[in-house]
Structure 1
Amino acid sequence: MGTDTTRQPPDRATLGRYGETLAARYLRDRGLEVLERNWRCEHGEIDIVARDGACLVVCEVKTRRGTAYGDPVEAVTVAKALRLRRLAAAYVAARGVRPEQVRVDVVGVLCVRGRVPEVRHVVGVGS
């Protein structure tokens, strides 16, 4: 991903927002339309809601400074993928949209000090 900086954000919350910004840019660059970021309801939060053609895409973004605990995308468990499916249903109901398909994706952002951030997009987790 061609990012103009290798500086890391100072704290965890800022790192998460930075990763979400990179993920949204990455998805847009690949033709997805980002509809919303950080959509919340009583059941939780969706980091990014996007559209890929007729498909509604719910994206979980995981940002890490290193791989000591594995690749960032590995942080999304089966339970988390199922929760994202429930959140997708809540989003569809709340917004009154009728997508042909709904998909759950994970975008991992690896921000290693002194290196350009790496973005990894896993399409259709927990399907």
Structure 2
Amino acid sequence: MNSTRNIGIIGEDIAERYLLENDYKVLERNFRVKAGEIDIIAQKNQIIIFVEVKARSSNKYGFPYESVDYRKQQKIIRVAENYIKFKGLTNCQYRFDIIEVFLKENKKINHIQNAFWA
């Protein structure tokens, strides 16, 4: 397994723990369909949250959230639409969040709620 994937798994573990500690219910992890993958799908207060986790060991290439560009957002939205259809969720509220994990800064987390919209 390459180091980028290892960093991703560590970041997702930290993000999941953070969500659970903050009263989110984790519904899925690494939900995958043909259109792509969503790292974490959670729920809080009747809202479904589609979470993209970005972990970095340095900011050499910019802040983690910057890698979730328009193209990546559209892919996440398509996967979320698949999830909503697959689960038969009608009239549900949902949002798209990004959780940044800074591994070299004591695993600091920056949770960006409503990072983008469908």
Both proteins in one fold, TM over 0.5: yes
Instruction: Report how far residue 99 of structure 1 moved.
Output: 5.3
Paired residues of 1:110 and 1:118 also in contact (CA < 8 A) = yes
Q: Does 1:63 align with 2:52?
A: no
Letter in 2 for 1:79: R
Structure 2 segments unaligned to the other structure (5+ residues): none
Residue 78 of structure 1: aligned partner: 70
Residue 92 of structure 2: aligned partner: 100
The structure, 1 or 2, with the larger RCO (C-alpha pairs under 8 Å, 6+ apart) is 1
Q: Does 1:119 align with 2:116?
A: no
Instruction: Report how far residue 97 of structure 1 moved.
Output: 2.5
Q: Does 1:90 align with 2:92?
A: no
Aligned structure 1 segments of 4 or more residues deviating by more than 4 angstroms: none
Structure 1 segments unaligned to the other structure (5+ residues): 1-9
Separation (CA, whole Å) in 1 of partners of 2:76 and 2:53: 12
Letter in 1 for 2:48: L
**Aligned to 1:124, what secondary structure does the other structure show?**
strand
CA RMSD, 1 decimal: 1.5
Q: TM-score, normalized by length of structure 2? A: 0.90
Q: TM-score, normalized by length of structure 1? A: 0.84
Q: Which has the higher strand share?
A: 2
